[in-house]
Every structure is written in C-alpha cells, then in structure tokens.
C-alpha cells in the first residue's frame, strides 16, 4: 500500500512539473519576440520531448492540459494580430 501511495505521489509531482513547464512556456510566448525565438529554435518540440512521456502513457488530464496550452497560445497570437491591425 505504501508503494502505491509513493507511486501516486510521484505521478502527481510529475504532473505538477509538466503543468509548470507548460505555464512557463505560455508566459514566455506572451512576448512576440520570445515566441518567435522559441519557435525558431524548435523549443516547443524539444521541451515536449523532455517533459511529456510517450503518447501511450499520457493521461487524459495531461492531454487536456496540453490542449489548453495550445489554445492559450493560439488565442494570444490571434489577439496580438488583432491589436496590430
């Protein structure tokens, strides 16, 4: 029973770390020059490889968090384009 709890704690810590990394990327992308630099250096893909497990082991919770990050970045980019025009 203790091993199961430790495993669950580890999963929760990993999820927290992944969420924090996604939040940090989203905040970095608020600034257009930061977003451009991240995209040019393939940073999203590289960080994704480091923090996300293989597709088959990703939980629904993590998939939802990743989708939310994508929507947030897309929304901010769209708003940024509207401000320019």
Q: Of 71 and 51, which is predicted with more confidence?
A: 71
Place of tokens 């905040």: 27
| pTM exceeds 0.85 for this model | no
The DSSP output letter for 58 is -
- Across residues 71-80, what is the average pLDDT? 80
* pLDDT band at residue 64 under the 50/70/90 scheme: confident
* pLDDT band at residue 56 under the 50/70/90 scheme: low
How far apart, in whole angstroms, are the C-alpha atoms of residue 14 and residue 9?
9
Among candidates 76, 18, 82, 26, which has minimal Cα distance to 49? 18
Structural domain boundaries in the chain: 2-84
Q: How much is the pLDDT for 46?
A: 73
Task: Please provide residue 6's backbone torsions phi and psi, each rounded to the nearest 5 degrees.
Answer: -65, -40
Mean pLDDT (the chain, rounded): 76
Do 47 and 25 touch, CB atoms closer than 8 A? yes
Structure tokens at 57: 């082991």
Structure tokens at 44: 């999203």
């Amino acid at each position: 029973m203790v091993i199961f709890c430790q495993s669950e704690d580890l999963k929760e810590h990993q999820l927290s770390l992944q969420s924090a990394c996604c939040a940090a990327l989203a905040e970095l992308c608020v600034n257009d020059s930061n977003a451009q630099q991240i995209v040019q250096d393939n940073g999203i893909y590289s960080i994704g490889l480091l923090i996300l497990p293989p597709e088959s082991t990703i939980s629904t919770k993590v998939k939802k968090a990743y989708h939310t990050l994508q929507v947030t970045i897309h929304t901010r980019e769209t708003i940024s384009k509207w401000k320019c025009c």
